Chain A
Amino acid sequence: MSRVQENDSLPLLEVRHLSKFFGKQLGCHDISFAVSPGEVIGVVGESGSGKSTLLNCIAGRIQSSNGAVLFNSSVGMLDLCRCDEALVRRIIRTQTGYVTQNASKGLKMHISAGGNIGEKLMANGMRNYRQIREQALAWLAKVEIDPGRIDDLPSTFSGGMQQRLQIAANLVNAPKIMLMDEPTSGLDVSVQARLIDVLRKLVSGLNLSMILVTHDLAVARLLCHRLYVMKQGKIVESGLSDQILDDPRQPYTQLLVSSVLKP
């Protein structure tokens, strides 16, 4: 896609020395990495290692204590931690997506599936009901939800469907990057497989960049190009997914890889 050629030389998103402290408590410390257009980055680590804190800082959901998040937006390179809040909110609304672990936090549960998908379109200025409806139907089909359920509330959906709906609601305005916080946890294995399948198709088709936070190494291997391993708020190891998972160098990563249950 043309987007890649435009920004070939620059990363889409660059995190520089990002730190977050909750009082004396360390959230994440001195995190630096870059995401190229179309690249899928995985952040793995145990619970409490600061993965979600990092993602929330990047998404502007919590204020970082230190460091910068540079985003190659449609209006040039922006530091999301520093520039004007109105602009940051607009950029985040129009050019990024955020998928939460718990679909009920990412979706509006009292609004129909179509309304959830249409919300971003309306937020970006679409005022034509028929067009919104058409796009919502098209996206439901893309994430393999029966379009006949467009007017049903998400609370009537299964966990896997809710998660796919959340992905559709985020992809509808063609973001440049998706931030995903444990999108597959809490789903059973076959539902996970389907979700991952949908994600893989969409990611390759849209040339979407993604930062995927997960503790599930299998998901990380399937989806991510590169992995960062976090422990106690810091990155302890990074590299290509296969390299990290097949030949972990750090003792912590070795422990993490070896503790995956094999049926």
Chain B
Amino acid sequence: MPLAYNFAYLDEQSKKMIRRAILKALAIPGFQVPFGGREMPLPYGWGTGGIQLTASVIGPDDRLKVIDQGSDDTVNAISIKAFFKKTAGIAITEETRAATIIQTRHRIPETPLQKGQIMVFQVPIPEPLQFIEPKKSQTVKMHGFEEYGSMHVKLYEDIAKFGRIATAFDYPVQVHQRYIMSPSPIPKYDNPKLHQSPAIHLFGAGREKRIYAVPPFTDVVSLDFEDYPFELEQWDGACAVCGSQNSFLDEIITDDKGTRVFICSDTEYCRNNAGKSNP
């Protein structure tokens, strides 16, 4: 059956415009490039930015993987996969290694990314300075003049309140020693995966109409204090399903008596890992 839409839904002019924004974003790592975000057939906040990026970079030979909270089979992931299957007729995969484009909402897969792969992030709030300076006219200047000192106020507030840096996701990073970037809703556990990654990382904010990017092999450093360095989350136990001790674990409550288990958030990694340990 012939496709009822233009390939990957967006018209070619829109894709061209978005690709130009992507190229600019890759040329200035971490810089938020404004783009003419299109109306997509799903509500803002459900990944309109990410879908537009994917639609613009995808080709007929690509293999797409979509994850939501690390999982391949949640509603958002399923819907976006169905969308591209219908509008682009491309191959869908759950294998991180096999995928050429991975669209994600909250996680970077545990399986290390490779050269040639593209990560597409759905970003709700692209502006990391928003917390400290609500005026957009000012944040633009702060980025332009590299006035980033007050970014640490957020971390200061954390330490003053909780005795440690309690920011657990959307933890601000400095890209290529220049722009401060919001890695958006990924947990800080995934921040180090951005550093010197061989893959391309594209970030799309549909409502805010901003695109930014981390090109391959770029320095991505998480902000911290000299006496309170950046730290990763740690768990006491291992994954209840696959036994992995070095993956991001979700806490799942199993009954109404407070029983809980910890399970890998990355379902594909967990499945592969479980297969390895119990053949």
Contact = CB atoms under 8 A, between A and B. Distances in A.
A122 B149 CA distance: 5
Interface string A90-123: 1001000000000000001001101100110011
B20 interface: no
B157 A115 contact: yes
B12 to A, nearest CB: 40
Contact of A115 (B151, B160, B226, B227): B160
Nearest to B161: A151
A129 B149 contact: no
Contact of B226 (A86, A128, A133, A150): A128
Interface in B150-176: 150-153, 156-157, 159-161
A249 interface: no
Given A127-B226, A150-B160, A119 B147 contact: no
A39 to B, nearest CB: 30
Interface string A221-242: 0000000000000000000000
A132 B141 CA distance: 25
A118 B153 contact: yes
B150 A119 contact: yes
B147 to A, nearest CB: 7
A132 B149 contact: no
Contact of A89 (B141, B156, B225): B141
B17 interface: no
A114 B156 CA distance: 9
A130 B159 CA distance: 10
Nearest to B223: A127
Nearest to B152: A122
B145 A127 contact: no
A85 interface: yes
Contacts, number: 59
A111 B149 contact: no
A111 B226 CA distance: 21
Contacts of A111: 132, 153, 157
A221 B144 CA distance: 43
A125 B150 CA distance: 9
Nearest to A150: B160
A125 B151 CA distance: 11
B230 interface: no
A123 B160 contact: no
Contacts of B149: 119, 122-126
Given A86-B145, A151-B160, A115 B153 contact: yes
Nearest to A132: B156
Interface string B219-245: 000000111100000000000000000
Contact of B227 (A85, A93, A129): A129
A98 B54 CA distance: 47
Contacts of A128: 225-227
Nearest to A116: B153
A118 B228 CA distance: 16
Given A112-B160, A114-B160, A115-B160, A123 B150 contact: yes
A136 to B, nearest CB: 9
Interface of B: 132, 141, 144-145, 147, 149-153, 156-157, 159-161, 225-228
Given A115-B153, A119-B150, A122-B150, 11 more contacts: A85-B141, A86-B144, A86-B145, A114-B156, A119-B132, A122-B153, A122-B156, A126-B149, A127-B152, A129-B227, A151-B161
Interface of A: 85-86, 89-90, 93, 108, 111-112, 114-115, 118-119, 122-130, 132-133, 150-151
